[in-house]
Chains A and B, each alone.
Chain A
Amino acid sequence: MRKFTYLVPKTLDEAISLHEARGERAKYIAGGTDVLVKIKEGKLAPDYLISLKHILSQDRPFLNNETGELYVGAFMTHRSIEKSPLVQLHYPILHDAVKNIGSVQIRNVATIGGNLVNAVPSADGAIPLIALDGKAHIYSAKGERTMELLRFFLGPGQCDLGRGEILTEVVIPPQRPRTGSAYMKHGRREAMELPMLGVGVLLSLEEDLNTCAQARICLGVAAPTPFRALMAEKFLVGKAINAENLAEAGRIAGDESRVRDSIRGVAWYRREMVGVLVKRMGLKALERAENKAEGGRLTV
């Protein structure tokens, strides 16, 4: 592999000043499963790699008990999110997504922040975090700024990150009661593949456990960036959650999609599958919301 100098800062401030002093010749690295491949392929040629792996931070998602917010640190590995009982129990949409990213070997080192800053249209990690109304926290020499994660993605491979800035975490606000969620990556196989389509649905129900109080329909690979099918979401609110209404929401979401032909699938098929999968994930989200309600206490 091409030679570089590996720098290992212990704090965010140290990382930023190391980057500032070296400018274009430096590149941040966390898990390295994308950066090292790009260096090997000659697509990146940094003289300095600044590791974000040794910056002291939490290594698994945790809940702020006072605010009810979930903190997902950018330097957490996919595996630590996948194995988190908190995520499995209360944020199943996130668990659905991270468990099929790459392979066990990749998930053991690759970080969720790396998945997000790559900003590929297929970013599996982004869809559930957007559906959960996640906010991105971004750190730089000027301090911290936050933004809706949805707005963080600007185009294929482009995110709203200035030179030297570091995505530090995604914070998820408390969920409404009676909420269920599900994500599915559609492709030829589950593991080791970028999705042809990624569909995440989150539904919050009224007390009757049937009427939709709030909906999030978030799609990957259906547009240049991850996006929310706002018309389809609006259609569901106030309506009964059943197969018929979910199918209609799916049809609307398909119309909202800006799908295109690519090596992994053609546009018309993708659009059809948006309809199929929005309905399927909607039914799964409903089932999960009901199960959670039957369990009695809602802890989150």
Chain B
Amino acid sequence: MAREVSFVFNGNPMKMTVGDHWTLLHLIREELGYLGTKEGCGSGECGACTVIVDGEAVNSCLFLAAEIDGRELLTIEGLAVGDGTLHPLQKAFIENGGIQCGFCSPGMIMAGKALLDENPNATEEEIKEAIAGNLCRCTGYVQIIESIKSVSGHQTEEPRVIAWKTEENDRDA
């Protein structure tokens, strides 16, 4: 079965026919041809396919294309402005070494953007929570957190994170 959906893709109103069984990721990569959004695990574990729907970060690999009807979709391609000027988050990832192989970067940046759009003064804790569903196998996360933090209004110096556990978790009874 197929159905017609209308949605806004990176600012452009679109109308198209989608298969009932298509994921949003399939729609973006295979039908629209925008390859910035990556498929990692295909099961919601890695976050490489993160896009923003109506302001919220979602895994496009577990989101049915049929559900995009009437909504606004933003992918990594929608961040830079027309003349090629990069979004502050994209610049920050380059400047802080938040990118190595680049496979997780679109997902990381979209997860970071959804956070900062809602909470422009996100703390380090809040940044870690926002990207908890995004795997990176190169950087060790520190530079990624620094990158997002450099764009957040909340830039007070905090000790560098070397482990994911919080104090509360480690505290003995």
Contacts and interface: CB of A to CB of B under 8 A. Distances in A.
A189 B43 CA distance: 19
Contact of B133 (A8, A79, A192): A192
A276 B173 contact: yes
A95 to B, nearest CB: 13
Size bracket, chain A contacts? 20 to 34
Contacts of B8: none
Contacts of B58: 105, 108-109
Contacts of A33: 44, 59, 62
A84 to B, nearest CB: 15
Interface in A1-16: 1-6, 8
B47 interface: yes
B23 interface: yes
Contact of A106 (B19, B21, B133, B169): B133
B28 interface: no
Residue of A6, A33, A109, A280 with highest tally of chain B CB at under 10 A: A6
A89 interface: no
Contacts, number: 88
A280 B169 CA distance: 11
Residue of A53, A108, A191, A280 with highest tally of chain B CB at under 10 A: A108
A177 interface: no
Contacts of A280: 173
Size bracket, chain B contacts? 35 or more
A6 B57 contact: no
B43 A37 contact: yes
Contacts of A79: 56
A103 B43 CA distance: 12
Nearest to A29: B64
Given A40-B42, A53-B67, A104-B57, A109 B62 contact: yes
B38 to A, nearest CB: 14
A191 B67 CA distance: 26
A134 B67 CA distance: 31
Given A49-B20, A104-B133, A191-B133, 6 more contacts: A3-B21, A4-B20, A5-B20, A6-B1, A79-B56, A104-B132
18 contacts: A1-B22, A4-B21, A5-B20, A6-B3, A6-B64, A6-B66, A8-B66, A37-B62, A40-B43, A41-B43, A103-B47, A103-B132, A104-B129, A105-B44, A105-B57, A108-B57, A191-B132, A276-B173
